[in-house]
Structure 1
Amino acid sequence: MSNRRRAYPQPQYSAASGAPPAGFVAGVSPYGGVDQLGQQFQNLQVGAPGIAPGVAPGANGASGIPPAGANAYQYGQPAGVQPQAQVPVQQPYQQQQQPGQGYDYTAGYNAPTNGYQAQGAAGAAYGASGYGQTPALPLNQLYTADLLKELPPSISDLSLPPPPLVLPANSALVPTSESSNASPEYFRSTMNVIPNNNSLAKKSKLPMALVVRPYNALKIEDENVPVTSDTIISRCRRCRGYINPFVTLTEQGRRWRCNFCNLLNDIPSSFEYDEVSGTSKNKFSRVELNHSVVEFVAPKEYMARSPQPIVYTFIIDVSIEAVSTGLTGTITRTILESLDRIPNQNNTARVAFIGVDSSLHYFRFNEGLEGTEVLIVSDIDEPFLPSPDGLLVNLNENRPAIEKLLVDFPSYFENTANNKFALGPALRAAHKMISNIGGKLVCFAASLPNIGEGKLQAREDPNVSGKAKESQLLSAADSFYKSFAVECNSAQVTVDLFLTSGKYQDVASLSNLPRFTAGQTHFYPAWTSGKMEDVTKLSKEVSDHLSMDIALEAVLRVRGSTGLRMSSFYGNFFNRSSDLCSFPTFPRDQSYVIEMSIEENIAKPVVYFQAAVLHSTCFGERRIRVMNLAIPTSSKLDDIYASADQLAITNYYTHKAIEKAISSSLADARDYLSKSLIDILNVYKKELVAGNVAGSSPLQLSTNLRMLPLLLFSLTKHLGFRNDRVPSDLRSNALNALGSLPIPHLIKYIYPTVYSLHNMDDGCGLPEQIVNVDEETGEEVTTTSTEILLPEPMNDTRSGWENYGLYLIDNSTELFLWVSGDVVPGLVYDLFGTDNLYEVPTGKTELPEYSFEESEFNYRVRQIIGKIRENPDSITWKNLYVVIGGSSNEPIEITNQRDLQALRMWALSCLIEDKTQNEQGYREFLSALKTKVSQ
């Protein structure tokens, strides 16, 4: 094929094309900061005054209103958005103390001490004001957006970081440290300004919660978390908080004051001694005093027992359903190919295999021999281990025998006619096998458990889909699955499920096993080995799952400053006590939400949070990962709203809606989301927007929250909550994903990303070109990045689509390539190798592969798809579905028109903003909101 570069028709600008609305300047942050060339706006440095760029203290415009004739964007406000005149920006603090002097915050103003921390101007102001009085910090300014006028919504906001955390100057112990406050990728709050009393928190109607994600990559080497060089750990004697960058030093640096409870603690003498070199060292160079996220190497007192080896027990369905669909053969081959990927640096990993139908098939490895023997236990009412040894074996020492078993495994069951699947007894038996060590039970099932303990029956009822009774289908049918999961948790055992049935499998019941053991449920409806794309997805995800550097025997605790309490916990784990979350194994691809409450008034200008994960690494070392977050406080509602994090708030409401859906009904969950949004809009209208007259007022919200209505609206139309007939297995699986996905993946799962490919820039799909200026010569130097440049995302609406367009939809779990019916034949030829649209394969497939010289367009599109599929923090492999849209003249005749129409509807359901037959569009949703808010 020749390399053809075509000038495809270019659509005119439309409101839904993803281009900015009129009056919008690219790169303007809604939080009061300006992004140059669309890059993420720069977070204010610790201690930054928070005044909009270009405003000198006391100069005209310091109130937040730009002087006459000034460029509004220099002041950080989006086009057409007026700052709230009644919210003046506070003057920055003047320097009150000399460098090297500190203050004791707990006793009002004290004479400066010879401490090692310059507390900064704001700290001096606080000390001078006396304990119990909170000085006004120059926090983020409040700007108002009219939601009905800002259509289409500015989806570029979804990729912005949260509003900046504005802290007093030099509030960190080491002012030069740039990582003293946790990155939002690890630790973030729904509010980046905390109300200083409970009545204000309730008045705001905004949720108070923390989003914790201790790990953000599947492999340890892909993270850059500093580790302490010794096992010296300094903790507060009262609250048990770990020493961190926000403590205060007193008595010439010999003691530190806890930033959570104010207790004075001794600095360990070993802080200034290097055990390795035997020389003294500067304690201010220690990683725990410089970095917000750090790992301590734990001494023996943090171990109930020595770190255990990593254990994988594979429970494999060998019933006729699993064998006939190819699950048994595919899984054993995948495990065989993944043996080298299992974390096993110290050669202690252990494995075991159990085949399950109406009996339990154990595989005993004979020491010193390459062969195995099959031991069959038919008594599933009281399953037992048929051998005291040889079932759970060291991976390295038995590698030849394990490889031979995995090669031969399918042949043992190839002629089976057994249609039973005793999952419950198999779980019991596997639990007995590893309960003294702990580890993972990885289950592969193509059948509904239909015999023995935990037996389930098909209870799918299409007549209750979308009705109140549907919540019963979303709850467990048998209490065994939760009670057994709790037993597993106490024995440090995690259960992971890979479900592949084409029939009803009761995902709602089975998913309780991973939910309470810190595992995950992976669902592949109608999977078959006859489809290469199905095999690829399952194999890649299982292999990546086995290669994940999981933490073992882990517990998570989150603490906050005095006056704050962690009240509710959401995610896949078991709440062992009021504030301790238990993880037999800690996954690296999930996140957690902790709701908090204010128990007493907060007098300090800053509050602190700390999340700590005590765990054993997969290479046998006991460690504690600690994350620290400092957030300013305020007594003003406008400060609270100006710094609210819309993505974290969406994460919180997602968990609450899941809770409602399971305990009550889907309708109640949707109503809860709608009511929560109305409450927020009413507060904003009544308390923060002056002069509005009921009935004629616009629908307004702070600019940093202007995507919240879109996200909550999108959530109501998501597969997990939509008012439509949805198979309960699909619904339950969607709720499982919503309840565990980290924020970047969650937002895309709620509001899919759409790219226009037929008119993308020439650089898209190719390595990004970065232009830098040589400081010495002043000349521009162009370098090639390893990152593939993606097109700019569009809004999720078809109103801006062209009849000849080509669009790629990414909903976080699948990719849809929409080929419009009137697409240019040359474009089809460049992409698919044929100019006949009738010959383009549809459904789950892959694009043909052409080199850059053969077809530049095909190469660039495949590079874009490959880039989107790269997930260093997730095991999900996204299948590609090619969808051909209808022609403007008549629908294209495809052999299976019914399947094509279903595929079209599935793809179009990702276009959240559009109105459908059963549900309103986003514009109609906002109009209805305005009516309710105006009442």
Structure 2
Amino acid sequence: MSIFQTQEDLTGIRFSWNIFPNSKQENARFVIPVGCLYTPLKPINDLRKPNYNPVKCQKCNAILNPYTTIDFQSKIWVCPFCYQRNKLPETYNSITEQNLPIELIQSFQTIEYQLQEQPSLPPAIIFLIDVACDEEELASLKDSLMKTLSLIPENYLVGIITFGATIEIYDLSFMDFPKSVMIRGARTLSDLQIKSFLGLKNYGQNFQNQNFQNQNFQNQNFQNQIISQKDTIDGVTKFLQPLSECELTLSTIIQELLVDPWKLTNKRRPMVSTGSAILAAETILSQWKGGGRIMCFVSHPTTNGPGMVVGLEKKEPIRSHHDIQKETEVARNTQKSTEYFDSLADKAITNNITVDVFSCSLDQTGVYEMRNLIKKTGGLLLIADKFDSDVFRNSLTRIFQKDNISNSDELSDKDFLCYDATISISTSKELRIAGAIGNCFSANQKTPYVAEAEIGIGGTSSWKSCSIDSMSTFGFYFEITNSEKSPVENKKIGMIQISTKYRTPQGQWRLRVTTSPHYFGSVLDPQQKMQIIQSFDQEAAAVLIARYAVFKTETEQYLAIIRWIDKILIKLISQFAKFQKEDPNSFDVPNNFTIYPQFMFHFRRCNLMKVFNNSPDETVFHRHTFLRESTMNSILMMQPMLYSYYLSKPPSPVVLDVSSILPEAILLYDTYFHVLVHFGTQLAIWRNQGYQNNPEFSNFKQLIEQPKKDALILSNPRFPFPRFTECDQGSSQSRFLTSRCNPSRTYKSNWFYKFNW
């Protein structure tokens, strides 16, 4: 484990450069922009959680941290960001150099305040189910949903809506038999019309004002007391009920779901009103005021009503990348559909609603048009072949996986979903914030910390996400303000503070604060250049450049982005490598830079950049997951890992090259989305002959079982759960491995004929 990974485990943050350039011109010499990858909810073993509100600067709102200057006599602290002198609260009167509060101890760069604020309403979940699928698929989906109900905490509010040609919104307060409101999916309705159909009033706000002021939020019966009030039964609580109150009713509804009776013949696509169904779900959740998420399970594209992606006739193909790029007749609905789902995204972020999409179909379902709806709200996206696949079932379970050690209804600290997150950044005056790239949206906070140039989502020092979890990672980019005529002093420290305010599933507000100091330097000074080289984190730098490249794909052509990546690589290596012109043997690259070119080589070839042989939905899925994952998982998507297993030696990583594919080796190939166990020719023959069943060859049995066990260990903590494949050398499934290996040897090489393929 590198020192940068160790630092990330302690703080949740990784920088491309850990020594900053001291001027704008020096920033250009660094080539790779100064940036960081930050995981706000990363599990930290020794995370301190003070049970009080933080002390903030009166001028810039920066938070008291270990790098502030304290006058212990007068109880004054100087903000390291704006140099404002602030008076410490009376509760800090007893502090001395030997008696410091947690936030002033330098070993705790990251702390999490448990804010003393009024608890919020509990979150709500609406299950949005496409019932236009086949009976077998619907049965599999129902089984998965029933298992999910057993994992959801009882304080969560739940609702259920089904859709096909019509939209059916179920009344969970009526327990005698299923009762619902039906809306035609073909109609384009407004919020007021939907509220009128459902009889909705803004009861959520009344709950917050009247009932949350004087009652204990942690009381187990508190939620039930509120929901059981008679004056709310005709409002939004008809459609949203605590799971503890409606579990039996909800289970009955799910078990009795039937395939949409309006489903057409095999020659035509079913009528599916996904756009209208999401609008109805958002309208209900907007009345609750506690936020929540819409979990949308789709198996067909939108063919009915607003947001229509494709027509009903199967002879009309669904759009491809070529159709979208060339704006052909096939893609005539794409722009209008995208604009509609973008409007739903604006409504969702206004009401703090997260939209998750689980697309299970052999064809596309319109995820490309819904991409901003999922991305801006911080939603989860999964694409699988069927609802009965391991990928779907395990991924759905993974979302609400509880801590096995604890019997509490709270989700595990490593797995829980949190809501209404706001990420704000403060910097010292030498630095400015260029922007952020991740599954979030701008909070439009134009403070003095904001840079003129923008990278990603810029023009602000604060961003919001309706939902975050322990793997949600954001990329932030910075620039230097000083000119070369007045560079920053080399021994001076630049400060960056990232604060994330969010709401737990139990309604408690928390604030995680990470403060990171960095020295300034110049590559023109030989001694400083060595320190700068050692401060380079090539893994974080590669991911930051890759995120920027993926962001550019929205507006720029593929070849232009590839040329941009290549120019950065050439400039970086020419700046920091040692070489003599026209002498290849003199080329020497520092150790901290040796793997970066390799990352970029594989990134150019992966499906994050290339769209060949991928549908628009698949491309959105891969890029969406990449923009929310941690540094090491992102590296895995860019450059897959390859491990070899032999009878004669322990498992070890090998280069991603065809030379690693040997008859006497088992390979474990991991792309994050796909885990493959590849048996060499000789080992496959022994396995087929049953040698593993002979007690004399127990070591062989252990050899063929170990990669599968390791594959399961790799797969369990991930969302989405990766696809698992087991294949033999030379089989059709082995193409997943050979297509990504470096082709150092081909069928024309003598090596090819050495073995019996």
Which position in structure 2 is the counterpart of 1:228?
50
Code of the residue aligned with 2:734 in structure 1: it is: R
How far did 1:406 drift?
2.1
Structural mapping, 1:681-720, within 5 Å: 681-685=573-577, 689=578, 692-694=580-582, 696=584, 698-720=586-608
- Could you tell me which of 234, 241, 245 is aligned with 2:62? 241
Which position in structure 1 is the counterpart of 2:682?
822
Tell me if the contact between 2:75 and 2:93 (Cα under 8 Å) persists in the aligned partners: no
CA distance 1:853–1:664, change in 2 (3 Å) = closer
Code of the residue aligned with 1:266 in structure 2: it is: K
Q: 2:511 & 2:334 partners in 1: Cα distance?
A: 35
Which position in structure 1 is the counterpart of 2:511?
624
CA distance 1:829–1:286, change in 2 (3 Å) = farther
Structural mapping, 1:513-912, within 5 Å: 513-524=373-384, 526-527=385-386, 529=388, 534=389, 536-547=390-401, 548-577=415-444, 578-600=460-482, 601-603=487-489, 605-637=492-524, 638=529, 639-685=531-577, 689=578, 692-694=580-582, 696=584, 698-722=586-610, 724-759=612-647, 761=649, 791-823=651-683, 825-828=685-688, 855-871=701-717, 874-886=718-730, 900-901=731-732, 903-912=733-742
Unpaired stretches in structure 2, ≥5 consecutive residues: 200-234, 311-316, 402-414, 445-459, 748-757
Structural mapping, 1:434-445, within 5 Å: 434-436=285-287, 437=289, 438-445=291-298
Code of the residue aligned with 1:586 in structure 2: it is: I
Instruction: Write the deviation string for residues 427-448 of structure 1: whole angstroms up to 9, x where unpaired.
Output: 1111110113211011111111
Unpaired stretches in structure 1, ≥5 consecutive residues: 1-39, 41-159, 165-180, 275-279, 763-790, 836-850, 887-899, 918-935
How far did 1:684 drift?
2.7
Whether 1:192 aligns to 2:48 is no
Whether 1:460 aligns to 2:347 is no
How far did 1:162 drift?
2.9
CA distance 1:373–1:454, change in 2 (3 Å) = same
Which position in structure 2 is the counterpart of 1:56?
none
Whether 1:317 aligns to 2:130 is yes
Whether 1:428 aligns to 2:295 is no
How far did 1:500 drift?
1.3
Q: 2:505 & 2:391 partners in 1: Cα distance?
A: 26
Instruction: Write the deviation string for residues 670-698 of structure 1: whole angstroms up to 9, x where unpaired.
Output: 2221111112123235xxx3x72346564
CA distance 1:462–1:486, change in 2 (3 Å) = closer
Structural mapping, 1:282-321, within 5 Å: 283-286=99-102, 289=105, 290-300=107-117, 306-319=119-132
How far did 1:474 drift?
14
Code of the residue aligned with 1:865 in structure 2: it is: A
Instruction: Write the deviation string for residues 533-576 of structure 1: whole angstroms up to 9, x where unpaired.
Output: x1x22111112224442222221112211121111110001112
Q: Which has the larger helix fraction?
A: 2
Tell me if the contact between 1:831 and 1:857 (Cα under 8 Å) persists in the aligned partners: no
How far did 1:619 drift?
1.2
CA distance 1:728–1:614, change in 2 (3 Å) = same
Instruction: Write the deviation string for residues 519-538 of structure 1: whole angstroms up to 9, x where unpaired.
Output: 132111x3253xxxx1x221
Q: 1:914 & 1:515 partners in 2: Cα distance?
A: 39
Code of the residue aligned with 1:268 in structure 2: it is: P
Q: 2:737 & 2:274 partners in 1: Cα distance?
A: 35
Tell me if the contact between 1:216 and 1:589 (Cα under 8 Å) persists in the aligned partners: yes
Q: 2:471 & 2:737 partners in 1: Cα distance?
A: 26
Structural mapping, 1:16-415, within 5 Å: 40=1, 160-162=2-4, 183=9, 186-217=12-43, 224-229=46-51, 231-252=52-73, 254-271=75-92, 283-286=99-102, 289=105, 290-300=107-117, 306-319=119-132, 322-324=133-135, 326=137, 328-342=138-152, 344=153, 347-367=154-174, 369=175, 371-378=177-184, 380-382=187-189, 384-385=194-195, 386-388=197-199, 389=235, 390-409=238-257, 411=258, 413=260
Code of the residue aligned with 2:561 in structure 1: it is: A
How far did 1:704 drift?
0.4
Instruction: Write the deviation string for residues 213-240 of structure 1: whole angstroms up to 9, x where unpaired.
Output: 11235xxxx86522103x2421112221
Which position in structure 2 is the counterpart of 1:104?
none
Instruction: Write the deviation string for residues 302-354 of structure 1: whole angstroms up to 9, x where unpaired.
Output: x7xx41211111111111xx23460x333332222122322x3xx53101111
Larger mean CA deviation between 458-467 and 186-195 belongs to 458-467
Q: 1:499 & 1:522 partners in 2: Cα distance?
A: 6
Tell me if the contact between 1:519 and 1:587 (Cα under 8 Å) persists in the aligned partners: no
CA distance 1:699–1:184, change in 2 (3 Å) = farther
What SS does the aligned partner of 2:517 have?
A: strand
Instruction: Write the deviation string for residues 796-847 of structure 1: whole angstroms up to 9, x where unpaired.
Output: 0121332232211111111111122333643455687699xxxxxxxxxxxx
How far did 1:488 drift?
0.7
Q: 1:823 & 1:297 partners in 2: Cα distance?
A: 56
Q: 1:588 & 1:337 partners in 2: Cα distance?
A: 22
CA distance 1:654–1:560, change in 2 (3 Å) = same
How far did 1:711 drift?
0.3
Q: 1:558 & 1:509 partners in 2: Cα distance?
A: 31
Q: 1:507 & 1:915 partners in 2: Cα distance?
A: 39
Identity of aligned residues (%): 15
Tell me if the contact between 2:66 and 2:103 (Cα under 8 Å) persists in the aligned partners: no
Q: 1:288 & 1:456 partners in 2: Cα distance?
A: 55
What SS does the aligned partner of 2:463 have?
A: strand
Q: Which has the larger radius of gyration?
A: 1
Q: 2:149 & 2:698 partners in 1: Cα distance?
A: 35
Code of the residue aligned with 1:193 in structure 2: it is: I
Tell me if the contact between 2:296 and 2:358 (Cα under 8 Å) persists in the aligned partners: yes
How far did 1:184 drift?
6.7
How far did 1:252 drift?
2.8
Code of the residue aligned with 1:906 in structure 2: it is: F
What SS does the aligned partner of 1:613 have?
A: strand
Which position in structure 1 is the counterpart of 2:222?
none
Tell me if the contact between 1:806 and 1:817 (Cα under 8 Å) persists in the aligned partners: yes
Larger mean CA deviation between 657-666 and 573-582 belongs to 657-666
Instruction: Write the deviation string for residues 238-269 of structure 1: whole angstroms up to 9, x where unpaired.
Output: 22111112222124371222222222222222
TM-score, normalised relative to structure 1:
0.65
Q: 2:176 & 2:147 partners in 1: Cα distance?
A: 18
Q: 2:8 & 2:609 partners in 1: Cα distance?
A: 33
How far did 1:378 drift?
1.6
Code of the residue aligned with 1:643 in structure 2: it is: S
Larger mean CA deviation between 512-521 and 723-732 belongs to 723-732
Code of the residue aligned with 2:120 in structure 1: it is: P
How far did 1:594 drift?
0.9
- Could you tell me which of 445, 458, 481 is aligned with 2:341? 481
CA distance 1:427–1:884, change in 2 (3 Å) = same
How far did 1:467 drift?
9.7
CA distance 1:252–1:797, change in 2 (3 Å) = same
Tell me if the contact between 2:298 and 2:365 (Cα under 8 Å) persists in the aligned partners: no
Q: 1:387 & 1:483 partners in 2: Cα distance?
A: 22
Instruction: Write the deviation string for residues 704-734 of structure 1: whole angstroms up to 9, x where unpaired.
Output: 0111100011100101223744333322322
- RMSD after superposition: 3.3
Code of the residue aligned with 2:581 in structure 1: it is: V
